[in-house]
Amino acid sequence: MDLKRPVNTDPRRGLPSVDRLSQQAAAVAPELPLWSIRSAARTCLQALREDAVVGAEGGPVPVAGLLDRPAGHASIHTSVMEGLDLDGLAVRVARQAGRLAAPHPRRVLNATGILLHTNLGRAPLAAHAREAVARAAEGYSSVELDLETGRRGSRMGSLAAKLALLSGAEAAHVVNNNAAALLLALNTLAMGRPVVVSRGELVEIGGSFRVPEVMERAGVRLHEIGTTNRTHLADYQRALSIGPALLLKVHRSNFEQTGFVAETDVRSLAALAHAHGIPLVEDLGSGTFVDLGSTGLAAESFVPARLALGVDVVCFSGDKLLGGPQAGILLGRREPIEAMRRNPLARALRVDKLTLAALDATLDLLLEPGRAAEIPMIAGLRTDDALLRERAEQLRRALEEILPPGFSLALERSEGAVGGGSLPELRLPGWAVVVRGPGLAARVERLREAPVALVARLFDEGLWLDVRTLTPDELPLVAAAFTHAFR
């Protein structure tokens, strides 16, 4: 027997077990579920094992950052055990477990002044729509059951009739978002055939989705006309020689062109298309049933007016200017809409019962006189300047009692935006509470970690809280987030 056998000095032998590390982390955060703690402990220990290198040169380094290191980070050539702090490691595991167990998505207070903030879920739902979603989620519902006959019914129910009343369209269909609406329209009406579109309208929308790529997936052949900045009616006329299935117009919802530019008006395009027996389809991006011209909203956003100009099919988002849930709404002549409804793709792109309930309730508010203002998006656009200043003053007074010495508060003029790829040049003048003081970047991180997270913007050496996107009921929650971040 060899009594001089060398001892295994691999530092990984000294790592705590999953159970021991989990117990330590559970003591730090007993409110967290055990499954999240154990998962975070396994992740932590695996990171330590991967980063441990036996016999490496150099002194030890703390391992506290291993759990949060970015993916692909190079191995740390050190002895893990020399820098190991079990208590500190347990805190890190607890933090990771907390992120894992947190609900997704979480509620966020939007103080950016951007009404349709894509990263924050775009349009918040009206109370009436939220109540409808809760009822639909509570139990079974008549999604595809005709309660009068007891037989299978249409998933659209009365939605198509309500959309027709609001828009003047012959027919309507709803899918899960506007990209899906465009995909379904092109695949149904032009599969395998050319589609004519201006080169200046081949836009890229959020998430790097590009109109040419959507068209490719729809199975149509893209035929570009004109130039980036100028496309004339004559360009469309020449393209008719290739026998296109339809003319497509895409609204440049997330950018503007100015200067030496030209585009063909919709009425002329509709007349040209109809004279040659093909449809005109318009991807409006953002559409509304409320005439918001007094707010500076572009005329092309008003859906009934687009259909009145002769567009055969128009599609737009439900969660933008409409102020409802995420959906893609298709309106137009009965023949093309019914053809889309029969397309097998329609089932893959259909909306669920919760979306149906939220959209139906939103349309009810638009149909009832005087209730459109209950939709947060509409209210946000229409809020009076004096009310915004009063709201900002109320928030300033609340924050005065929270901020420590060294920080200042001021009421300043701000400029909000519609956002969500809608009307990029429309600025919404309003009021903001501006916080100035040391270490604001770190405070912003703490605001995002509050029980109800707060998102604002750092600008001009200050933290700007634009009150256009904060309701009066949310102001106490903003104060609570500041208490979390500053105390």
Contact partners, residue 249, CB within 8 Å, separation at least 6: 197, 198, 201, 266, 269, 280, 281, 282, 283, 311
Q: What is the predicted pLDDT for the residue at 417?
A: 87
Give per-residue pLDDT as tens, 334-385.
Answer: 999 999 999 999 999 999 999 999 999 999 999 999 999 999 999 999 899 9
Question: Which residue, chain included where needed, has tokens 């080169």?
Answer: 199
Closest CA to 363 of 132, 153, 138: 132
CB atoms within 10 A of CB 247: 27
CB atoms within 10 A of CB 204: 13
Both ends of the chain: CA-CA distance in Å? 64
Q: What is the predicted pLDDT for the residue at 67?
A: 43
Give the C-alpha separation, 318 to 328, whole Å. Answer: 6
Q: What is the predicted pLDDT for the residue at 292?
A: 73
Q: Rounded to the nearest 10 degrees, how much is the dihedral formed by the CA atoms of 164, 205, 265, 301?
A: 40
Q: What is the predicted pLDDT for the residue at 76?
A: 37
Give the C-alpha separation, 314 to 166, whole Å. Answer: 14
Tell me the H-state helices in 112-158. 127-138
- Domains in the chain, please, with CATH? 11-101 (no CATH), 108-119+380-486 (3.90.1150.180), 125-374 (3.40.640.10)
Q: Which residue numbers in the chain have pLDDT < 70?
A: 1-13, 52-84, 206-208, 253-255, 293-298, 420-425
Write the CA distances from 44 to 21, 30, 435, integer angstroms. 9, 19, 38
For the chain, count helices (H), then strands (E).
17, 18
